[in-house]
Amino acid sequence: MTATATSVGEPDRTEPQTSPASRAAERLTRLAPAAAAALSGVLLYVSFPPRTLWWLAVPAFAVLGWVLRGRGWKAGLGLGYLFGLGFLLPLLVWTGVEVGPGPWLALAAIEALFVAAAGVGVAAVSRLPGAPVWAAATWVAGEAARARVPFEGFPWGKVAFGQADGVFLPLAAVGGTPVLGFAVVLCGFGLHEGVRLAVRARRGGGVRRGAAAVALLGVAVPVVGAVAAGPLVSDAAEEGTATVAVVQGNVPRAGLGFNAQRRAVLDYHARETERLAAEVKEGRAERPDFVLWPENSSDIDPFANADARAVIDRAVDAIGVPISVGGVVDRDGRLLNEQILWDPDKGPVDTYDKRQIQPFGEYLPLRSLIEAINDTWTTMVARDFSRGSEPGVFTMAGTEVGLVTCYEAAFDWAVRSEVTDGAQMISVPSNNATFDRSEMTYQQLAMSRVRAVEHSRTVTVPVTSGVSAIIMPDGRITQKTGMFVADSLVQEVPLRSTETPATRLGVVPEIALVLVAAGGIGWAVGAGVRGRRAR
């Protein structure tokens, strides 16, 4: 028996050997989808304010469509999660400005799970006829879930909120943020499908006309639809006009510590209002019909503290018109984030209590569990705010002003309820001092611009420390302040009563798109089961 030419432990030289360079190239090839998923998520982030690169959202979803096409559920989950982290980590970095990176990283990691779930769905429907439509609806379904759970949801980062400067914006008036987001995502997935089919045809492969038509329509229909929706967007006055003043008093210092000088914050807003009153008296500023102060402009309860009430009374007397004051009120054992309508003759005459309060900021979920782990949060949120239950529409000098307090602007239902309750314009009083000079204030301002078009209403944004703004019903910012300066904005604005299709339909478009997504995923799963049985 002859001996083998290869001794034990020596490599079999009959097997083909790969060079280090080829092995490195193979690893890079395997890593390419993961890197592309993460980087396309970053690209989506870059499309958001304060940048005006809204159009980058389209190639971001085109790349996501490429990395997810034909993948199994595990790959879809992982790649979707990487896309979510690439998007949400930089988008939400402001949440850690004052409390450190822990809450920021935890929030981004949890919210990215919803994107990962959407990635599974997109991968599942990617081989179906009309895949871009199913995939875009699946993305919207993921956003719908993220806007509702956990702790009543966190809609921040909806694709629609990055489109305030984009050509798709009129679609907000058609079906709100779900339809606007669907159009952008559909355009991206349609672009991927078109490029894929073009490459296949160039290589000599067959391309079905139906598939080519779907790809073309996926890109064209959102753009054509946005153009067709243009007549829904108008800044014409339907119920006359009102001259509104937005007051930004500024704060003693940025960060969580601004609350330690609550009286100073109130004094700053009163002082800026009195300065405006002097300008009006001298003829250097137009006399407003009413004045809007921001959230937390009086963190001292004016119902329980005579000195705070006196400061507000003096400011209202000086300007001589109603003021909406943002206060923190302790009433009947309930702590409330409240807007107070202060009349120059009658004092406080109406209130609106914030309904969508912020978890870990205004109340602490799972308090006993969190306290056992780390008592830092329980110190910061020593007492939970209570929720309001009714929409807030103040009648101010004959104008119906809908109140949407800060965080509420991210929630579709909270804004719509004010319009259906009769608001002729909307005010979004906010307090961004906690987040210093981060991108948070610009992201929130973009939300208000989308809401203006969605419901065809003037939107004012009074903020303690900036950026405060006046937004026309067509989404244009006509005036704005800087950050961390005392300033006031006075302008005559149009009042409107028309209800857009988005206002009338409410949640219906979102439900329809969720059902489309469910149908597509069900079809894909059923097809997969039948295929396995056939084998």
User: What pLDDT shows up at residue 49?
Assistant: 97
Of residues 66, 50, 60, 59, the one with CA closest to residue 84: 60
The catalytically annotated residue of 354, 408, 418, 439 is 354
User: What pLDDT shows up at residue 107?
Assistant: 95
Of residues 198, 192, 200, the one with CA closest to residue 218: 192
Instruction: Please give the average per-residue pLDDT across 62-73, as a whole number.
Output: 96
Instruction: Please give the average per-residue pLDDT across 257-282, as a whole number.
Output: 87
Cα–Cα distance, 179 to 168 (Å, whole number): 10
Residue 414 C-beta-side C-alpha neighbours within 13 Å = 27
Q: Which helix (H) or strand (E) holds 527?
A: helix 508-534
Cα–Cα distance, 93 to 503 (Å, whole number): 32
If pLDDT is split at 50, 70 and 90, which confidence band does 145 have?
very high
What is the tens place of the pLDDT at every residue in 149-162? 999 999 999 999 99
Averaged pLDDT of the chain: 92
What is the tens place of the pLDDT at every residue in 51-61? 999 999 999 99
User: What pLDDT shows up at residue 8?
Assistant: 46
pTM above 0.85, yes or no: yes
Does the pLDDT of residue 227 top 50, yes or no? yes
If pLDDT is split at 50, 70 and 90, which confidence band does 277 have?
very high
User: Are 480 and 489 in contact, with CB atoms under 8 Å apart?
Assistant: yes
User: What pLDDT shows up at residue 2?
Assistant: 46
Does the pLDDT of residue 6 top 70, yes or no? no
Query: Is 187 tagged catalytic?
Result: no
Which residue blocks in 57-169 are alpha helix, DSSP H?
57-68, 73-91, 101-125, 131-146
- How far is residue 458 from each of residues 85, 243, 245, measured CA to CA in Å? 35, 12, 13
User: What pLDDT shows up at residue 382?
Assistant: 82
User: What pLDDT shows up at residue 97?
Assistant: 83
User: What pLDDT shows up at residue 335?
Assistant: 96
User: What pLDDT shows up at residue 3?
Assistant: 47
The sign of the dihedral angle between the CA atoms of 379, 326, 478, 494 is positive
- What phi, psi does 337 have (nearest 5°)? -90, 105
The catalytically annotated residue of 143, 362, 406, 480 is 406
If pLDDT is split at 50, 70 and 90, which confidence band does 12 have?
low
Cα–Cα distance, 378 to 360 (Å, whole number): 9
If pLDDT is split at 50, 70 and 90, which confidence band does 263 have?
confident
Does the pLDDT of residue 260 top 70, yes or no? no
Instruction: Please give the average per-residue pLDDT across 363-391, as a whole number.
Output: 84
If pLDDT is split at 50, 70 and 90, which confidence band does 328 have?
very high
What is the tens place of the pLDDT at every residue in 473-519? 999 999 999 999 999 999 999 999 999 999 999 999 999 999 999 99
- Ramachandran class of 475: left when φ > 0, alpha when ψ lies in -120 to 50, beta otherwise: left
More confident residue, 226 or 205: 226
Query: Is 406 tagged catalytic?
Result: yes
Cα–Cα distance, 376 to 381 (Å, whole number): 9
Query: Is 418 tagged catalytic?
Result: no
Instruction: Please give the average per-residue pLDDT across 93-119, as a whole number.
Output: 92
Pick from 2-11, 23-32, 199-208: least confident: 2-11
The catalytically annotated residue of 272, 295, 418, 510 is 295
User: What pLDDT shows up at residue 361?
Assistant: 87
Does the pLDDT of residue 136 top 60, yes or no? yes
What is the tens place of the pLDDT at every residue in 398-409? 999 999 999 999
Does the pLDDT of residue 384 top 60, yes or no? yes
If pLDDT is split at 50, 70 and 90, which confidence band does 204 have?
confident
If pLDDT is split at 50, 70 and 90, which confidence band does 9 have?
very low
